[in-house]
Amino acid sequence: MKYGSIFLIFLAIVISSWLQSCKKSSAIDEKKIIKIYADMIFMQDTSSLSQLTIKEKVLEKFNVSENDYDNTIKFYNDDPEKWQPFFDSVIVYIERIKPIPRKIDGKSLPEQSVSVDKKNP
C-alpha cells in the first residue's frame, strides 16, 4: 500500500510536469501565417472572388488545412494581445515585398534611338 501511494504521487508529479511543459502554440508557424494573411489581403484587394474562395485558394497555395488555419486563428483569439504584434508583422512583410514605385522623369527615360527610316548624315 505504501508503494502504491508513492507511485501515485510520482505519477501525478510526472503528469503535472508534462502538462505544464506542453505550451499551447498555433498550428501554423508565425512566418507562414503572416504570408497567408498577407496573400488573403492582396487577393481581397485585387480579385472579385468571394472571401471563402480566396481563403480556400490561399490555404491550398500554402498547403495548409482549413482546420490548422482555424486552430491558428483560435490560438490568436484566445489571447487578443497577440493580434497587435501579428498585424505589425503583416504590415512589415507587405511593405517589404511591395514593389517600389519608380518616378518617371526626364533622366530616367530611355534615350531616343535613331529611326531606321532616317538616313544617317
Q: Do the Cβ atoms of 107 and 117 come closer than 8 Å?
A: no
**Model confidence, pTM:** 0.62
Q: Could you give the number of structural domains in the chain?
A: 1
- Does 13 map to a domain? no
Q: What is the mean pLDDT of residues 76-97?
A: 93
Higher pLDDT: 10 or 96? It is 96
Q: What integer pLDDT is reported at residue 86 of this predicted model?
A: 94
pLDDT band at residue 93 using 50, 70 and 90 as cut-offs: very high
Residue 109's φ and ψ, nearest 5 degrees, are -75, 145
In a domain, 105, yes or no: no
pLDDT of residue 21: 45
Question: 27 by DSSP, 3-state: which?
Answer: coil
Task: Answer yes or no: are the C-beta atoms of 94 and 41 closer than 8 Å.
Answer: yes
> 19-78, pLDDT tens digit by residue?
444 556 778 999 999 999 999 998 998 889 999 999 999 999 999 999 999 999 999 999
Write out the residue range of the structural domain in which residue 63 sits.
24-97
